[in-house]
Amino acid sequence: MERSSWYKNMKSIWKRFHFTQILLLLGCLFALIILIFIYPFSSKADISAIETGLSQPTIIYDKNGDEASKISANKNEGVYIDDIPEHMKNAVIAIEDHRFYEHNGVDYKGIGRALVRNIKAGQIVEGGSTITQQLTKNALLTSEKTYERKIEEIFLSREIERKYSKNEILQMYLNQIYFGEGAYGIKRAAQKYYAKDVEELTLSESALLAGLIKAPSSINPYQDEEKALQRKDVVLNQMKKHGFITEEELEKAKAEELVFNDGGGDPLKGKYPYYVDAVLEEAMDTYDLNLDDLLTKGYHIYTELDPAMQAMVEKTYTNDSLFPESTGERQVQSGAIFIEPTSGGIQALSGGRGEHTLLGHNRAIHRVGQPGSTMKPIVPYAVAVEEGWNITDELKDEKMDFGDYSPNNYSGTYKGKVPMYEAVKDSLNLPAVWLYNEIGIEKGTKMAESFGIPEEAINPNLGLALGGTNVGVSPQNMAEAYSVFANDGVRVKSHTITKIDDQEGNTIAEWDGNKEEVISKESADKITSMLLGVVDYGTGKAAKIQGREVAGKTGSTQLPIEGTNGTKDQWFVGYTPQLVGAVWVGYDQSDENHYLTTTSSEGTAPLFKEMMSNALTDKEVQSFNVQKVDGLIQQQQQQEQRKEREERIQSEIQRFGDWFQQGRDRIDEWFR
> Annotated catalytic sites, by residue?
96, 373
What is the residue-wise DSSP string for 126-140?
A: -----HHHHHHHHHH
On whether the CB atoms of residues 421 and 633 are closer than 8 A, the answer is yes
Residues 520, 518: Cα–Cα separation, whole Å:
7
In three-state secondary structure terms, 77 is coil
Phi-psi label, residue 389: left if phi above 0, alpha if psi -120 to 50, beta otherwise: beta
Residue type, 38: I
Distance in angstroms (rounded) separating the CA atoms of residues 228 and 212: 7
Across 417-441, b (16+ Cβ under 10 Å) vs e yields ebbbbbbbbbbbbbbbbbbbbebeb
Helix, strand, coil % (nearest 5) of the chain?
A: 50, 15, 40
Within a 10 A sphere around the Cβ of 29, how many other Cβ atoms? 10
**Which parts of 131-288 are beta strand (E)?**
none
User: Which residue, among 466, 436, 469, has the nearest Cα to 455 in the 3D structure?
Assistant: 469
441 within 8 A of 461, measured Cβ to Cβ: yes
Count the Cβ atoms, other than its own, within 10 Å of residue 635: 13
Question: For the CA atoms of the chain, what is the radius of gyration?
Answer: 38
Exposure of 244 in the CB half-sphere (CA atoms within 13 A): 24
By residue count, the chain amounts to: 672
β-partners of residue 582 are: 337, 573
d(CA 46, CA 425): 66
Angle between helices 630-671 and 521-537 (to 10 degrees): 60
Separation of alpha carbons 443 and 457, rounded Å: 16
Q: Cα-Cα-Cα-Cα dihedral of 625, 630, 636, 638, to 10°?
A: -140
Give one word for 488, left, alpha or beta, with left for phi > 0 and alpha for psi -120 to 50.
left
Task: Give whole-number Cα distances, 268 to 60, 67, 265, 296, 473, in Å.
Answer: 9, 8, 9, 16, 31
The CA-atom distances, in angstroms, between 345 and each of 63, 70, 480 are 9, 20, 10
Whole-number Cα distances in Å, 192 to 57, 199, 260: 18, 14, 9
Cβ–Cβ under 8 Å, residues 481 and 453: yes
AA letter at 576: T
Whole-angstrom Cα distance, residue 556 to residue 324? 14
